[in-house]
Amino acid sequence: MDRFLEANRRKWNELAEVNFSSSNSDYDVGSFIEAPDGIEGLHKTEREELGSVEGLDILHLQCHFGKDTIRLKRSGARSATGLDFSPVAIENARALAGATGTDVTFVQGNLYDAPKLIDGKFDLVYVTWGTICWLPDIEEWARIVAHFLKPGGRFYFLDQHPVALSFDDLAPAPHAPVYDYFHKPEPITFDGSEAYADETAVLKTERSYEWTHPVGEVVTALIEAGLGIEYLHEFDTVAWKAFAYLVPCEGGLFRLPEGMPRLPLSYSISARKQD
C-alpha cells in the first residue's frame, strides 16, 4: 500500500499549494486572514450538527491546510490539533495559524502512524469531507479514532456518500454507476492533471488512488472499535460540485437539479467512546 499512499501524497502536496492560493470560496485564504471566522464558516450540515465546541480538546484528522482546525479553536475549543500526511499542507497550516493569531498544533504524518505522532486523548475527533476515500483500511482507521477519544468522547464524521462515489464525476449528464459500491482491497486508479479549486492549474502528478468504503462497513468498524453510534444521517447535498450537473443550494452546498430523483450525496455519523 505504501506506493499508493506515496503517490497520493505527491498529488496532495501539489493540491495543497494550489488550494492555498486559490480564491475558491471553500479556501480563499486571503479573505480568511483578513476576517477569520469560527464554526459559522463551516458548511451548513456540520455547522448545524456539530454543536458547541467550547472548552473541548479536539483532534482534526486529515485536516488539509487546517482552515477548519483553526475555526474550531476560534470557536472556543480549549485546544485543537490537526494531522495531515502532506508536508506542504502542514507547512501552509502553520503559516495560516500564525497569520490569524490562532494557537493550534499541526502534525505531519500518515494517519495510520498517528498514535506514534500525537500524545493525549481528546473530547472530539473530527473528520469531514474528502477523507476516507484515500484510506485502504477502514477498520484500522476506526481503531485509531477510538484510540484518541477520552471515555465518553465524541467522534463526528461527515463525507461524500459512497453511492455518489459510484458515478463518474466528469460525465455531463445523469448516467449509470461505473464503480463498485462495495470495498475492494485494490484501489480505483484515477488519472488527471486538473486541480478542482483552480481550473487554470496543471498538476505534474496525474495518478492517484482511492478506495470505496460502504456505509455499513464504516458503521461496523466504529462499533467494533468500541464506539456507540448516536446517529447516522444521509443528505441529498454535498459540499462541492461532485457531478457536473449539480446545482448550488443553501449553506455552500450542492444538490441534484429539481425534478431529478433524490439520491444520498453525503452522510454523517456521531458516535461516542464507551466509558
Give residue-wise pLDDT tens across range 157-187.
Answer: 999 999 999 998 877 777 788 999 999 999 9
Q: Which ranges of the chain does DSSP label H, i.e. alpha helix? A: 2-21, 29-34, 44-50, 67-74, 87-100, 114-117, 138-148, 215-224
Range of the domain at 50: 2-273
Give residue-wise pLDDT tens across range 52-66.
Answer: 999 999 999 999 999
Least confident of 45-54, 191-200, 213-222: 191-200
Question: What b-and-e string marks burial along 242-271, b requiring 16 or more CB atoms within 10 Å of the CB?
Answer: bbeebeeeeebbbbbeeeeeebbbbbbbbb
Against a cut of 0.85, is the pTM above it?
Answer: yes
Give residue-wise pLDDT tens across range 132-160.
Answer: 999 999 999 999 999 999 999 999 999 99
Q: Cell numbers of 10, please?
A: 505527491
pLDDT, position 17:
94
Per-residue pLDDT band for 249 (boundaries 50, 70, 90) equals: very high
Give residue-wise pLDDT tens across range 262-273.
Answer: 999 999 999 999
Per-residue pLDDT band for 1 (boundaries 50, 70, 90) equals: low
pLDDT, position 92:
97
d(CA 120, CA 167): 40
The rounded mean pLDDT for the chain is 95
pLDDT, position 188:
95
What length does the chain have? 275
Burial class (CB in 10 A: 0-12, 13-18, 19+), 92: buried
What CATH number is given to the structural domain containing 176? 3.40.50.150
The tally of domains found in the chain comes to 1
d(CA 243, CA 251): 18
